[in-house]
Chain A
Amino acid sequence: MTHYILRRLIYAIPLLILVSIIVFFLISLAPGGPMAAFEENPNLTPEDVVRLEEEFGLNQPIYVRYWKWAQRIAVGDWGYSNVTHQPVLKEIGHRLPNTLQLMVVAFSITLLIAIPIGLYSALHQYSLFDHVATFFAFVGQAIPIFWFGLILIIIFNVWLNNPVSPNHGFAWSHFTQCADCKPLLPGGGMAPYGVDDPTLWQRLQHMILPVTMLAMFGMGTYTRYMRGQTLEVIYQDYIRTARSKGLPERLVVMRHAFKNALAPVITIIALDLPGLFGGALFTETIFSWPGMGRLFYRSAQRGDYPLLMGIVMINAVLIIIFNLLADLSYAYLDPRIRYD
């Protein structure tokens, strides 16, 4: 197994190099490039700009620049943000845990809902439950998650108000904002404004809407995959064998059908991971969640290329790691696969 993991890690290296080449060349296409900021600076003469260009090595051919850049990336020197002048790795390091927190919680909820529903749907094919679930899976697949996020804000942050003062009476659903009503759920940030050390309850409250939004990503798709895969295995001979030797239905489903149906679903989910990072980008932007996606969004607005490149590279690394984890869980679920 260790051998297999090592081989996969080595296989990931060319992928990372290719990603870095694509991103580097894309960004070097930017007109003005890294010198644009200096050219607008009235304190610098054109000679100064040329001198700086030489100092930064920008007058060299692009493959030389890429090679130098790649060497620095390899030793952990990822450059500095154009805007804040902080090291890129430090900026990303601040936000990465927030993004992972959001993604892991949301993704676990997605799977905990989608997989049982898909399984149950398939076991009760053409039942009312199956029809309703399939319809909602189609709906879930078609809802743009950024729109879903906006709808969540309208409902839970704008329309539903928690009456603070008792003389207001019961004021759920005022449909307008009243002066002393506070929103049922916060619509942005990780903690109340100005609070440095939020309580666990405050943190949880701030997580509800963004997590709900991100959990919507893939919900419909995974439900349908799980249903489809279960239907594939449920008519196999080994299921009939298990039933005919008198195994209780619960065991037939859990031990034989579920595990065999899950394995291919995991592959699909792993392939979907880059999309989940995209989903996090939308979620963080809408809910001002201080994560990597929002950092990317702001860097894109400001043309902060070193940060943009850094974030894409980190994403690529994370995607490779998650894919590896998916492969390993696949091996665990499907013992027919040997990795020697």
Chain B
Amino acid sequence: MAWQQFRHHQMAMVGSIILGLLIFGAIFVSVFSPYSPTDSSLRERREPPSIQHPMGTDTLGRDLMTRIFYGGRISLSIGLGATLLGVFIGIFIGSMAGYYGGKTDEILMRLTDLFLSLPRIFLLIIMAILLRQVEIPILKANGDMGGIILILGLLSWTSVARLVRGQFLSLKEKEFVESARTIGASHSRIIFKHILPNTATPIIVAATLLVARNIISESGLSFLGFGVQPPTPTWGNMLNAAQDEMRKGNWWMAFFPGLMIFLTVISINYIGDGLRDALDPRKVK
């Protein structure tokens, strides 16, 4: 029934198709593209879009479209990975605060307020430059990709935490929780088996939107040069490399990577909107 609802949300369907194509391209780019994402080809530098290079080439003669789809792998994985981490932390903090209430709630919510009032991008930059000096292989892989997932995740749990807390506050007074308690269910059983499954819907919607936010954060960080390091392509660091070129009139180097960020984010936002409508239990169809 939810699917029926979702299918009627036109923009959400369009968004799903665009996102699906992007993911398909990111996965199968090595099959359909004859070019390498990292090997330079000095004879073909700065070529505008053409049949051979539908999105043109960059300053080192690399095919931009190939790099964009390889970059999509990284950008989408970071968006997804950071969101998973953020949602995990958010669920933990939110359920603790909402379930136990009192002092625990007070302290955890103050912490959440603090994180909300921090200038996010500034902290991300500080954490990113510190991270670069740490030698932990799993964080270093793919031009710091692991590390970027870690710091984005650490700063993206607040909205989920607030949401989960609110849900817990209202659900823990419900009869089904009361009856679980009377038959002697443990706290962890009540939290994970009884209350948490009932909060899934809003969490799914919030997480969907969070993926888009994290993709923007990653690209912003990489755009400034503090995110994923070249030669690993991401949409953000491709924009960074294109900054000077664009002032010379080589528009395609900045246009296409940014367009990909835009298309991904708007698709995800519409999907989130569609999900919210489709999963809303108050809506009777």
**Chain A positions near chain B (C-beta within 8 angstroms):** 15, 18-19, 22-23, 26-27, 29-32, 138-139, 141-144, 146-147, 150-151, 153-154, 157-159, 175-177, 187, 271, 274-275, 277-278, 281-282, 285-286, 296-297, 300-301, 303, 308, 311-312, 315-316, 319-320, 323
Contacts and interface: CB of A to CB of B under 8 A. Distances in A.
A142 B265 contact: yes
B247 A312 contact: no
B241 to A, nearest CB: 12
Which 7 residue pairs spanning A and B have beta carbons closest together? A147-B258, A142-B266, A278-B121, A142-B265, A315-B119, A274-B119, A150-B254
B246 A278 contact: no
Contacts of A311: 122
A146 B117 contact: no
B212 interface: yes
- Choose among B117, B133, B224, B262 the residue with the greatest number of A CB atoms under 10 Å from its CB: B117
Contacts of A139: 266
Interface in B124-157: 125-127, 129-130, 133-134
Nearest to B266: A142
B114 interface: yes
Query: Chain A at the B interface: mostly helix, strand, loop or mixed?
Result: helix
A19 B114 contact: yes
Contacts of B11: 138
Given A177-B249, A303-B129, A143 B262 contact: yes
A7 to B, nearest CB: 16
B270 interface: yes
Contacts of B239: 146-147, 150
Contact of A31 (B113, B133, B261, B269): B133
Contacts of B123: 22-23, 26, 312
Contact of B247 (A138, A157, A278): A157
Given A142-B212, A153-B247, A157-B247, A30 B130 contact: yes
A157 B244 CA distance: 13
A275 B120 contact: yes
Interface in B190-228: 212, 216, 219-220, 223-226
Contact of B249 (A176, A300, A319): A176
